[in-house]
Amino acid sequence: MDLQDISPKKTVVIAIDGPTASGKGTVAQRVADRLGFHYLDSGALYRLTALSVLRAGIAEDDVGAIASIAGSLPCSFKGGSIFLGCEDVSEDIRTEEAGNMASKVAAHQPVRDALVALQLSFCQPPGLVADGRDMGTVIFPNADAKIFLTASVEVRAQRRYKQLLEKGVSANIDILRKDLEERDRRDSERKSSPLKPAADAVILDSSDLGIEESVQAILDICMMKNIR
């Protein structure tokens, strides 16, 4: 008998990294659904940490206190909703304030270290689609497929603007663009796990692609790697 027939099947990992508002979240979730894989929204973990920090009034440079919050997040993911303890915070973590604070707390290495075990725990058979900034470079360096999903800053600002208007939140496109640029800069220039494509990542620019086209492009890449 071939050894492969009796050894446990390896969990397949697809890493999808990219800048804010690149459409990663929706695209990655759909890829996971199509393949019947689990889904990790690693940004949500930084946002949950940020929300807890904001609510507790902790200073953004109190690294010890923030890492301690990150290391004991009472979070759970149920049916598309995200809970902190018993509270559904799915909406609260998506505000611009929580996103900007997430980008700040994520720059601290002890905070990142505190979230590693939780991220790895999502890696369950038959497979995982992991979405974030450092999935292919740091958390899952041996991922079976790595995609860096990006789009121009104009397109991303437009997408975020449309999302906010649809939610009934008023927004200013120029301020949104400035915020995006600042967040991109902070995420890419930080010392700890900066946002950058893994050397073996496929770069997918979705500026001219709809969500389904991006999903299909990623499924095609997976197919070429025999992931189905």
Give me the least distance between CB of 72 and ligand DC, in Å please. Answer: 18
Cα 47 to Cα 97: distance, rounded to the nearest angstrom: 10
Sign, CA dihedral 114-117-120-122, equals: negative
Nearer to ligand DC, 151 or 187 (CB): 187
CB of 1 vs ligand DC, minimal distance in Å: 40
User: Per-residue string for binding with ligand DC, 67-106, x by CB under 6 A?
Assistant: --------------------------------x--xx--x
Q: How far apart are CA 214 and CA 16, in angstroms?
A: 12
Name, in order, each residue with C-beta under 8 angstroms of 225's C-beta and a sequence gap of 6 or more.
144, 145
- Residue 133 binds to ligand DC (criterion: CB under 6 A): yes
Size of the site for ligand DC (CB under 6 A): 14
**Measured from the CB atom, is 37 or 46 closer to ligand DC?**
46
Q: Is 134 in the site for ligand DC (CB under 6 A)?
A: yes
- Is residue 136 a contact point for ligand DC (CB under 6 A)? no
Give φ, ψ of 170 to 5 degrees.
-75, 150
Comparing CB distances to ligand DC, the nearer of 36 and 96 is 96
Buried b (16+ CB within 10 A) or exposed e, 178-208: ebbeebbebbeebeebebebbeebbebebee
* Contacts of residue 83, Cβ cutoff 8 Å, sequence gap at least 6: 75, 76, 77, 89
> What mask of x and - would describe binding to ligand DC in positions 15 to 44, judged by CB under 6 A?
-----x---------------------xx-
**Which residues, numbered 182-201, are part of the site for ligand DC (CB under 6 A)?**
183, 187
